Homo-oligomer: A and B are copies of this chain.
Amino acid sequence: MDPKREQMRGNGDNEREFKQGLLYPFDKSKQRKLVAAPLANGDEYSPSRGGIPSGCYSLSFFMNVLVVVFLFSHLCRHDLQTALRLVPETSTPSASCPASKVLEDSSKEHCSGHGAYEVDYETDTGSCRCHTCFTGRDCAIPDSSCVIDLYQGDPTMYENYWRENGDSCTTTILGWQRMSYYANSKKFFFVQTELDQVIRSLHEVIGNAVTKDRHIVIGVGSTQLYQAALYALSPSDRPVPAKVVSATPFYSSYPMITDFLKSSLYRWAGDAAAVMPSGNSDDEFYIELVTSPNNPTGEVRESVLIKGRRGVPTRSGALVHDLAYYWPHHIPITAPADEDLMLFTVSKSTGHAGTRIGWAIVKDLNVAQKMARFIELNTIGVSKDAQIRATQILRAVTKQYRELGGKIPYPLDSAGSPKQLFHFAAAEMSYRWERLRSVLKKGTKFSVSEFDPAWCSFFGESRLPTPAFAWLRCEEVEDCELYMRQNGILTRSGSYFGSQARYVRLSMLDRRATFEVLVDRLEKLQLIDSVS
């Protein structure tokens, strides 16, 4: 029996269907019929007893009573909380596919706001998986002995923001949609046109990159696009691999990602600033990575090798600009970035790292085509589901700023309620950096760089950088990572970045609760006289 038909007949098995989420949503066409049901008496209008026949009244009243009974039977059978739980204000009605129940369950306010509610579908039991530093069945108990992991840059800071804004970004995909290998782009077979379009709109509205007459290649994160760029830019006809360089401190993953397959096309060659100007440059080809703002140090950067200082090229090669953090909540937007090859990622703009979508903005069509070829060979394109989700999210952000006029600047005080994404994120990052600096000033054990302010065209004011990572220097110990680890804070050693072990990189993108534990611990460490 089709459960929808049962529902229409007011079958007594409604409880099971209700629990399975089959009763909601109503199939829309039947929904209209349900509404129409009490209307039958309206059709039977005939002038009597003040214009309305008693038969009509009886039937109308009877239908209304039926609806009351139906409704209250459900409210009683499940406690009200359950009834409300199955109709959360901010979620879309569930699909009838069982896995959606996992998503609905995890959207409930379990776990005291300090954990994720997970349902084991096989056993239909759920439990809280607590966030760092919280414990207990409902994650309500702070755990002061916790180890905080700031080694990665997992952007969990954005989670609560999207929870409040979640209903504007729900993604719904029907079972038969987007099944093909092929998307609808006229240029690269796997790219969805809607995603290309929304990326261009976003950059126009935010003002942080030029996209006109550029090609956009989508990848499984900017990580994959980085490798695609190396493949596309390396000459295939040289006896030695292209040398991949970046000025220290450089992003710690570059060396490993470059070299893990021991490609003959390109090899990691270290510090761009250390490359000798002389030498046989005929066979040597350099690919210089410029990360701006830099990871781990947070400041604006320019090429030191390919374009050289004062614009004089010193070496034959190509440039890759990794602009993952070139967004207004991390660095003043001085001008729309306008480089030959620019990498961006959803992970560091909206926080949706798990979606795995990045994009490259490329001037040269041949380079873009070769990057797309890499993506084809490596993974036969990029998941359509991920592209759909990224489109949703980026479109929501673009819309937020269109509602503020769609053109820079967007002063801080123009933020709505709830705030627009970058207004939220900028305020949060400013809070965190001010808090961190104020704590570090209280002692001499730790230091972070000072930054110069710059004019930010996005906010229309002079601002300080508020990077995604803190590049912390231990003034009193040589192995900062070890010291921090001994004190329950996991960081990444400066030695991974081509720098000294006296430095560590720690994430400023974790949840607020974790950040507060961090500054609290740093503050306490400042008070300890000797190094433990």
Query: Considering the chains assembled together, what is the distance between the CA atoms of A374 and B262 in angstroms?
Result: 13
A42 near B: Cβ within 8 Å?
yes
Q: Is the interface of A mostly helix, strand, loop or mixed?
A: helix
Query: Considering the chains assembled together, what is the distance between the CA atoms of A177 and B392 in angstroms?
Result: 13
- Interface residue ranges of A92-144 to B (CB < 8 Å): 92-100, 102-103, 106-107, 116, 118, 121-122, 129
Tell me which of B25, B61, B263 contacts A92 (CB under 8 A): B25
Q: Is the CB of B29 within 8 A of A42?
A: no
Tell me which of B65, B99, B175, B354 contacts A194 (CB under 8 A): B99
Closest 7 CB pairs of A and B: A169-B175, A28-B87, A57-B57, A95-B170, A162-B176, A166-B175, A354-B384
Residues of B within 8 A of A13 (CB): none
Given contacts A61-B52, A64-B42, A96-B168, contact A121 B197 (CB under 8 A): yes
A349 near B: Cβ within 8 Å?
no
Tell me which of B154, B163, B172 contacts A95 (CB under 8 A): B172
Tell me which of B61, B95, B167 contacts A167 (CB under 8 A): B95
**Further pairs besides A42-B68, A223-B377, A356-B386: 11, Cβ < 8 Å:** A39-B64, A60-B60, A92-B172, A98-B399, A129-B184, A168-B175, A175-B396, A179-B351, A257-B377, A261-B261, A264-B264
Query: Considering the chains assembled together, what is the distance between the CA atoms of A361 and B318 in angstroms?
Result: 41
Q: Is the CB of B173 within 8 A of A167?
A: no
A43, A163, A389: most-surrounded residue (chain B CB, <10 A): A389
A91 near B: Cβ within 8 Å?
yes
> Which of A30-38, A334-342, A443-451, A521-529 touches B?
A30-38
Q: Is the CB of B399 within 8 A of A380?
A: no
Q: Which residue of B lies closest to A169 (CB)?
A: B175
A158 near B: Cβ within 8 Å?
yes
A355 near B: Cβ within 8 Å?
yes
- Interface residue ranges of A162-196 to B (CB < 8 Å): 162-163, 165-184, 194
Residues of B within 8 A of A99 (CB): 171, 194, 388, 391-392, 395
A352 near B: Cβ within 8 Å?
yes
A15 near B: Cβ within 8 Å?
no
Q: Is the CB of B265 within 8 A of A261?
A: yes
Q: Is the CB of B39 within 8 A of A71?
A: yes
Q: Which residue of B lies closest to A158 (CB)?
A: B179
Q: Which residue of B lies closest to A178 (CB)?
A: B354
Q: Is the CB of B399 within 8 A of A383?
A: no
Query: Considering the chains assembled together, what is the distance between the CA atoms of A145 and B530 in angstroms?
Result: 85
Q: Is the CB of B64 within 8 A of A38?
A: yes
A483 near B: Cβ within 8 Å?
no
Query: Considering the chains assembled together, what is the distance between the CA atoms of A56 and B57 in angstroms?
Result: 9
Residues of B within 8 A of A489 (CB): none
Q: Is the CB of A154 within 8 A of B175?
A: no
Report 6 cross-chain contacts, Cβ distance below 8 Å, ordered by A residue: A25-B28, A36-B71, A42-B68, A171-B173, A263-B264, A385-B388
Q: Is the CB of A92 within 8 A of B174?
A: yes
Query: Considering the chains assembled together, what is the distance between the CA atoms of A177 and B156 in angstroms?
Result: 11
Tell me which of B56, B118, B374, B386 contacts A386 (CB under 8 A): B386
Taken residue by residue from 370 to 389, chain A's Cβ proximity to chain B (1 for < 8 Å, 0 otherwise) reads as 00001001111111111011
- Minimum C-beta distance from A257 to chain B (A): 6
Q: Is the CB of A383 within 8 A of B355?
A: yes
A41 near B: Cβ within 8 Å?
yes
Taken residue by residue from 49 to 89, chain A's Cβ proximity to chain B (1 for < 8 Å, 0 otherwise) reads as 01010101110110111011001000000000000101111
